Amino acid sequence: MKTILLWDPRFPDRRPARLTVEDAVASAAVRAGVAAAANPAEAGALSAGGALDPTMLTEVVLQHGPGTATRRVFLPYSVVMVGAAAGLLAAIGSPIPGGVTPTPTPTPTPTPTPGTLRTLSFASIAGFGDSMMAGAGASSSGRRYINIVATALGASVYNAGIGSTFLTNNPDKTGLPRTDNGRDRTSAVLAGGKRAFLVCAYGVNDERYMGAPASINLAGFKNDLRECMNIWFVGGYTKDTVALASPFWVSDNYLTNNPNDADFNGQTQAGLAAHAQAVKDVATEFGAFYAPVYEATLNQTSLVGGDGLHPNDAGHTAYANTILDGVQLNLRTAPTGVTSPTPTPGSGIIDVSLTAAAGAVSYDYYALVAGVMVVALSDVAATTARFTGMAENTYRIKARAKFSDGTYSPWAFAAADVVMAASAGGPGVLRTDDFNDAASGALWSTRAITLGTGSPNTSAITATNALRGPTAASSFEIGSYGQVAVGNGVYAQATFIALSNNTNLATGLALRHNNSATSTTGYLARYNGQNISLQKLVAGAATILGTNYTFAATVGSSFTLRLEVGPGFQRVYLNGDTTPIITATDATDETGGLGLNYGARFQTASGGSGFGAGSGAHLDNLVFGAL
């Protein structure tokens, strides 16, 4: 069998169909001037035998591909006679008097129309989807739509379709994600090596399931499809090697009278159309091929099998042809050369640069972790951008151009990951300072805070390289590090030097701290000269958590205090002991997302003279980190 590009002689300007047919028919079509060899190396062999008469067009049903696939076409009568003699044609109609000579005459090596799939070829295809991808409703493996597509494109098939699965990994009514959902097995299509082309066709089950509308819904489906695309593009696929197909049409009767599961009753055609639009939107966002299967099969009951849901052989053929006719809807010029230099460990800063896209007015820069967008910088006018406050993790950066008409280019992905490593201070360290920068010969020097993103106050450095307040009575933050997503919790640790045990002393650490004139909130580990307490501040009002720990430091000595705050727990440690001296399980987050807000607080309360250089407490060796 040979693969040819077959024109319809009645409409010579239309794109040709890519068909695999018996050698005799392929040769006759080429010699009659209505087809060309898909493989230029076979053009000579298919042209051998002399020209055939291109007139007297006749409508026939032509067998092509594996099994008994058929397609209705118009062929010159000379080609029809060759096919009929070989037993490969059916339903032969009456010739059109006089025939039609194709204009222009196809050449043996036609130029594919940009953005179309049918005229391309690939060595291998991965199919990712549900029961329809797996072949439900097809009479044989050769009649599955993904096999028909593969045959037309000259590719081998890796079928990763699994019946009864959803794309989304959001929980159903049981509170758990569905087994074998597509989002959790996204990397399956990369197993054993990336295939040359990927077809993703999901959504029939997602869109029909009504058992958990708060979690399994249109927004979740679209988000998870986007994350799948992120993972595939990071894995090596591109806009030119991925096709997304909208879901196969489902009849109103099946939407309201599902015989197998009541949780699949209640969806509407508007809901189905919205899911199809979501697939189209994601394909457009990434510049991939879009196959409008829902649109092509809408109300086509003849394409639905006996179970009322899955496509029959004709439906699989229609499904395949829609994919083969898929196009790329977003042909805007994307930026190139998205790169990030290796960041300074523990700095939290990732710089990005790219090569401009012609006509762009701004750019979006996204940082991904395992396919999930974690930080977005939108409408950046420059071809460079800076992410700040980035926790230790492995990131992949993607960027796209925005144009004056409000449209966007496809995403361009950096070629490699960028790793934010731990600082030299150790695993989990986000910020550290030993305050070893006092002015030479001075008792202390005024210091503008550079730790983190800023502070409202100025502090001082002692001649012994420790931090203290610049006035006799002071209350100030020594660092700011805002809302970093660090998952398991955060900690602050510092060494305190006790210069007095005055009962008015109040010094310590604060996490998730928000200090303002009207609302001071956060968690504090505080030392007052007599004990250590764990406090929760809400709008300035303190509540003691856990049990105060009796402790009085020897004047002139130092002690190390550590405060840990995470989801539903708070812990205070003293002098490096692995057992906390105070624990609590407060579940309320007073300051928003998990992270260091005003990272640590150093306070020497008023109570007479003597606070400053020679009394109160000084602070040294401050560390902020992630648990």
Q: Are residues 128 and 225 in the same domain?
A: yes
Least confident of 49-58, 71-80, 169-178, 207-216: 49-58
pLDDT, position 617:
66
**Which of the two residues, 430 and 61, has the higher pLDDT score?**
61
Q: Does the pLDDT of residue 435 top 80, yes or no? A: no
**Which of the two residues, 25 and 426, has the higher pLDDT score?**
25
Per-residue DSSP letter, 278: H
Domain count, the chain: 4
Domain end point (choices 328, 360, 394): 328
Q: Does the pLDDT of residue 596 top 50, yes or no? A: no
Q: Are residues 249 and 347 in the same domain?
A: no
Q: Are residues 293 and 340 in the same domain?
A: no
Q: Are residues 221 and 140 in the same domain?
A: yes
Provide the sign of the torsion angle of the four alpha carbons 384, 390, 394, 399, taken in this order: negative
Q: At residue 491, what are phi and psi to the nearest 5 degrees? A: -145, 155
Q: Does the pLDDT of residue 105 top 50, yes or no? A: no
The angle, 0 to 180 degrees and rounded to 10, between the axes of the packed helices 313-324 and 145-153 is: 40
The rounded distance, in Å, linking the Cα atoms of 358 and 232 is 26
- Domain encompassing residue 52: 2-90
pLDDT, position 116:
66
Q: Does the pLDDT of residue 241 top 90, yes or no? A: yes
Structural domain contains residue 138? yes
Q: Using 50, 70 and 90 to split pLDDT, how confident is the model at 142?
A: very high
Placement of tokens 């794309």 in the chain: 167
**Which of the two residues, 245 and 104, has the higher pLDDT score?**
245
Q: Does the pLDDT of residue 136 top 90, yes or no? A: yes
- DSSP state letters, 241-257: SEEEEPPPP--HHHHH-
Placement of tokens 């203290």 in the chain: 468
Q: Tell me, what CATH number does 308's domain have? A: 3.40.50.1110
Alpha helix positions (H), 310-467 = 313-324
For residue range 348-386, list pLDDT tens digits in order. Answer: 789 999 999 999 999 999 999 999 998 899 999 999 998
Q: Are residues 478 and 513 in the same domain?
A: yes
Q: Are residues 590 and 556 in the same domain?
A: yes
Q: Does the pLDDT of residue 235 top 90, yes or no? A: yes
Structural domain contains residue 99? no
For residue range 481-540, list pLDDT tens digits in order. Answer: 444 444 567 788 877 777 666 555 667 777 765 555 445 677 888 888 889 999 887 777
Structural domain contains residue 11? yes
Contacts of 92 (CB under 8 A, 6+ apart): 58, 59, 60, 80, 84
**Which of the two residues, 28 and 126, has the higher pLDDT score?**
126
Q: Tell me, what CATH number does 464's domain have? A: 2.60.120.560
Verdict on whether the full-model pTM lies above 0.85: no
Q: Are residues 225 and 306 in the same domain?
A: yes
pLDDT, position 100:
44
Q: Are residues 182 and 317 in the same domain?
A: yes
Q: Using 50, 70 and 90 to split pLDDT, how confident is the model at 68?
A: low
Q: Are residues 473 and 524 in the same domain?
A: yes
Domain end point (choices 274, 301, 328): 328
Point out which residues pair with 398 in neighbouring strands.
366, 413
Contact assessment for residue 88 and residue 61, using Cβ atoms and an 8 Å cutoff: no
Q: Does the pLDDT of residue 92 top 70, yes or no? A: no
- Tell which residue, 522, 508, 507, has the closest CA to residue 598: 522
Structural domain contains residue 443? yes
Structural domain contains residue 243? yes
**Which of the two residues, 155 and 442, has the higher pLDDT score?**
155
Structural domain contains residue 98? no
Structural domain contains residue 109? no
Q: Are residues 383 and 476 in the same domain?
A: no
Q: Are residues 345 and 293 in the same domain?
A: no
pLDDT, position 41:
75
Point out which residues pair with 161 in neighbouring strands.
129
For residue range 218-227, list pLDDT tens digits in order. Answer: 999 999 999 9
Copy the structure tokens of residue 257: 């009278």
pLDDT, position 130:
97
Q: Are residues 225 and 307 in the same domain?
A: yes
- Tell which residue, 128, 119, 106, 112, has the closest CA to residue 33: 106
Residue type, 379: D
Structural domain contains residue 111? no
Q: Tell me, what CATH number does 344's domain have? A: 2.60.40.10
Domain end point (choices 46, 65, 90): 90
What would you report as the CA-atom Rg of the chain, rounded to the nearest whole angstrom?
Answer: 34
Residue 592 Rama label (left phi>0; alpha psi -120 to 50; beta): left
